[in-house]
Structure 1
Amino acid sequence: MTIVYTNQKFPPPPFDEEIDQIHYFRDLYEGNHENIFPRAQSFAEQTVQSLKNQYRKSKRIYFKRNAEKLAQKHAVSYYVVANFSSVIAELPADLINRSLGNISADTEKDNSLLEFVENVEKASKINQNIWAAIVQHQVDGGVAYRIRRDSKGTWFEWKPADLYFEHEDGKGADIPWVETRNKDKYLRVERQRLNDNQLLIEQLVFSMDGETVKEQLDIKEYASLYGLTIPDNQILNNVNELMCGYIPNDETLLVPRGRSGLRNIDMIQEEINWTITRDSVVFEKHGKPKLAIPRALWDTVASKNQKYYGDRFVRNADLEVVSYDEKNGAVPMYITWDAKIDESFKHVQRLIDYMLAISKTSAQAVGVNTDGGGRSAIAILYEWIQSVIKAEAIKDKFDAAIKDAIRKSVILENALGGTNYPVSDPVVEWADMLPKAESEKDEEEIKKYEGGVQSLETTIRNLHPDWSEDAILAEVEKIQEEQAINSFSPNYVQPPKTNITGEDE
């Protein structure tokens, strides 16, 4: 049931076709469109060929001999990449990244567990790496994570989808990667496998010849040969979960490992690029003002150049001072091109609208179809609602993944560290994805507190997210003391006035 690597190309089937698609969408996201779009490739080849011909016509021998190399090095392609694909992949990451809040253990009394979860969060750099993980999740169609325990402590890391292969029976997974040592290539694999209430974690290494995996090598000899520190194979008793996991994007029953968030928009992106490129080429050729001169003047200057240089031509410098034809009144004049490109711009706008609709992205969120004027948070929410709904669904998956990763970190620490922490999901706090005006945010938090649905401590934390825990607790105590003082309403009642008179008066 495990994956066989020897004597076949890497990556192995059935993952090879999926990884080809992953690399395709990575080029689309990165803007390397000359690698995937035929018209971009043809345009780049034409540019190189044109420059090569110019070098070959040069009178300098160096240029003639090195025309091919110089053309490849100095060719400048006019192919324009207006890459909306990157915006579509990054927008959910932007929204989710700003909404991730505090992460802590689900306890108020177990200080050791609270400290452990805090250390896992710091070592894993969750807040720093969440943006990159979500972008990769959108581009590749999924992202994986792996739990680790080393000198940093116990923590987890995100891994791209092409470095996570689950076993067919669902009882194991491989995390493979290629290492280059000097001129030799090796395939490293961390294999995790569940069997009889145990988790086996193995470290494997294979030699490679190009893209083909050859024989399996002894991992200890490999570590000794290159001076590497590789953990020994481990058997974790009473562990029934893999210390890794996978988060698919837009998975279906037929594609359980997920699909790229950039699917179905690649051809639209290519058409946008080509339309803009075509307009740019037209502008380059015809947009500059051209100087028109009388035929007789051109012949005069060209004849002089033929006499001095052996060829009939006219330079701009030749026309800085010209003679005036008194008989015909013919003088040089500039011709400007009045371009009519409104329909071309409308076509590009339609394509952008199609792309955003297919990818479930709000136009306002990417900066198109916007209008001026201040709007409330509620109004902005309705304008961004499509992107927010999409981001909320992705956030729920990462919320579950972060909780699973930290819970598995507790399991691994108990198994290898001799601890006995209770195994449960941590608490992951999320804020609103869209920014709000301070006054509007303060009003909402105060209403929640006054309505009795939110504690004073949570209210202060939400109002001051940059405060430390000590500052928050100090503020809570100060407010509670002031409330206690204000709750007293002593009435100083004076005794009634009386007249005291003597009996003999």
Structure 2
Amino acid sequence: MLTNLSFLERGKAFPPDSEKYRLETYLDHRKLFENNHAEVYKEQFRRIERVIGNFDRVVSYGTVFNYQRLLSVKTADLVFGEPPKVTVADDNKQKVIDKILLDTDLFGCAYISCIDVSRYGDSIMLLSCNDKGLPSIDVVSPAMWFPVVNQDNIRQFQYHVFAWVYLIDTVKKQYGLKVQIHKPDEPEKCEAHNYELNGKPGSFKIGREITQKQELNLETSMNTCPVYHISNLLTSDNIYGHDDYEPIDSIVAEIIVRVSQISKVLDKFASPSMTGPQSALERDEVTGTWRLKVGDYFPCDNDTIKPEYLVWDASMDANFKQIELLTNQLYTISEMGSAVFGDLTNKAGDVPSGSALRRLMMSPLAKARRLANRFDPTLKKIISASAEIMGTEIAPEEITITWHDGLPADPAEDAEIMSLRTGGKATLSQYTAIQRLDDMSAADTDAELAMIRSDDIDSSVGLEEPALEPIEGI
């Protein structure tokens, strides 16, 4: 970890040695998310090639299972797929919050941030004031983030340094390094630097500074630090969060190897050969080759082998059992369970009820709640700072965020619960039921109710008993 700004001095290596492993891990996890498994799992893919020696002429490819991407996306879906509700007691302040959510696309940025938290372990959200004087929110890759912490308390950030390499001259292959330094104690200022880089990618050294004087100090127009850090699982001795990929990397790699090996073996024996007596063959006079006479009759006795296909009996039960074991371990270690990956009941068409689905999703819902707890205070601070940019003071403690579980509702089950709790009384008017069910406007709903009442009147008139006429003489 970094405890001072000396890593930006001339002649120092960039990136710093203490950050190289983190950045390499980010790069690998980005490749996994983008389906480039072969670049990350090189040794595992060599195992696929070595499964059988004589496989040069068999066209077969490694079967990639991108559980990592699915894990990140489903995690973000559970946390932000059903956007949380942000409320405040004051109506005027509520209008300001609603405008902030709409103009900044806060929950869209938070969804991206949640994916980064899953695949990298950390995410950085950056708040700024645009040219129109309105708040703007961006999600910055943690690969550009180099935090400087207090050596006595690593939870205390001294500086948030953003540094990225860019190409100065495409012909000469000259690279530069742009740096922005945010100090939490002085949020209204941002220090900017621009350096030349010496050497080649992977072994850069910081060269002379080429920053223009007018670029050195930038105004942020902020009264609070614009950098917001959200981390995944944290420990007391690390400032970076633990990602979701590393615990399952070896399991996913082994599943890919096993399934790919099985596929290659099946490809090898996809075209079975035949065996039979010599009399079943005839010689082609043109090519001089022997071929099987199909459709003829070949007499067989005890000393003659009848023509038949060579059936290959592969005992692969152990392979499939290992794949099943690995898959179950993947469900457990990822904390996502089988339901998130699409395996609900192992029965096609059998969909569990709402309560049963929640029981299956207890582990992933607990994980989503843990992440929501990490996002909750950060989003409140971002909304508060955004309101301040717009000239309204809303303290973070005034804001309430109601989180949802992201699971689909079960209307039949909800209606049954409402009926039990109200003693069988109606909990929804006919007007509201029609409007919600058919997604009608107010005018269409009024017209539909009028027609229903008209039908009821016609039905009741038709069911009236005819009046009895008096009988003469009685």
Q: What's 2:141 paired with? A: 160
Alignment of 1:7-406 (within 5 A): 7-42=11-46, 78-103=61-86, 106-110=88-92, 113-151=93-131, 153-169=134-150, 170-181=157-168, 183=170, 184-195=174-185, 199-209=188-198, 210-211=200-201, 212-220=204-212, 233-234=218-219, 239=223, 241-292=224-275, 294-295=277-278, 300-301=283-284, 305=287, 307=288, 333-368=308-343, 370-372=345-347, 373-406=350-383
Q: Which has the higher helix share?
A: 1
Kindly state the Cα deviation for residue 144 of structure 1 after the two structures are TM-superposed: 0.9
Deviation at 1:276, TM superposition (A): 0.9
| Residue aligned with 1:167, SS | strand
Indicate yes or no: 2:394 matched with 1:407. Answer: no
Counterpart of 1:421 in structure 2: which amino acid?
A: E
CA distance in 2: counterparts of 1:293 and 1:130, whole angstroms = 69
CA distance in 1, matches of 2:100, 2:59: 48
Deviation at 1:26, TM superposition (A): 3.0
Per-residue CA deviations over 1:419-472 (Å, capped at 9, x if unaligned) read 36344354333223322212444666899999xxxxx9xxx9xx979x9xx99x
Question: How many percent identity over aligned positions?
Answer: 18
Cα pair distance change 1:178/1:408, threshold 3 Å: farther
**Cα 1:282/1:30, change in 2 over 3 Å:** same
Letter in 2 for 1:344: N
Confirm whether residue 421 of structure 1 aligns to residue 393 of structure 2.
yes
Q: 2: distance between equivalents of 1:187 and 1:320?
A: 75
SS at match of 1:282: helix
Paired AA for residue 436 in structure 1: A
Which residue pairs with 1:430 in the alignment?
403
Letter in 2 for 1:288: S
Which digits, 9 at most, give the CA deviation of each residue in 1:201-238, with x for residues without a partner? 122222234331433544449x9xxxxxx89612768x
User: 1:158 deviation in Å?
Assistant: 1.6
1:306-335 residue CA offsets vs partner (Å, 9 max, x unmatched): x5xxxxx66xxx658676656888775433
Match for residue 447 of structure 2?
A: none
Any stretches of 5+ residues in structure 1 without a counterpart? 55-74, 224-229, 308-312, 451-455, 472-505
- Cα 1:440/1:330, change in 2 over 3 Å: closer
SS at structure 2 position matched to 1:264: helix
Give the drift of 1:121.
2.1
Structure 1 Cα separation of the partners of residues 34 and 272 of structure 2: 36
State the alpha-carbon separation in 2 of the partners of residues 424 and 18 from structure 1.
32
Give the Cα–Cα distance (whole angstroms) in 2 for the partners of residues 45 and 371 of structure 1: 32
Change (3 A) 1:97 1:194: closer
Give, in whole Å, the separation in 2 of the partners of 1:275 and 1:123. 49
- 2 CA distance for matches of 1:160 and 1:428? 26
Aligned residues of 2:189 and 2:217 also touching (Cα < 8 A) = no
Distance 2:179 2:421 in 1: 51
Kindly tell me: are residues 464 and 145 of structure 1, through their superposed partners in 2, closer, same or farther at Cα, counting changes over 3 Å? farther
Normalised by the length of structure 1, the TM-score is: 0.69
CA contact (8 A) 1:117 1:406 kept: yes
Letter in 1 for 2:182: Q
Q: Which amino acid aligns with 2:165?
A: V
2-structure distance, mates of 1:231, 1:291 = 80
8 Å Cα contact 2:125-2:140 kept in structure 1: yes
Q: Deviations for 1:113-156, whole angstroms, at most 9, x for unmatched residues?
A: 54543343234323333333212211111111111121362121
TM-score for both structures, normalised by structure 2: 0.73
Q: Closer, same or farther in 2 for the Cα pair 1:251/1:289, shift >3 Å?
A: same
Structure 1 residue 363 displacement after superposition: 1.6
- Kindly report the root-mean-square deviation, in angstroms, between the aligned alpha carbons of the 2 structures: 4.1
When residues 216 and 124 of structure 1 are mapped into structure 2, their CA distance, relative to the original with a 3 A threshold, is farther
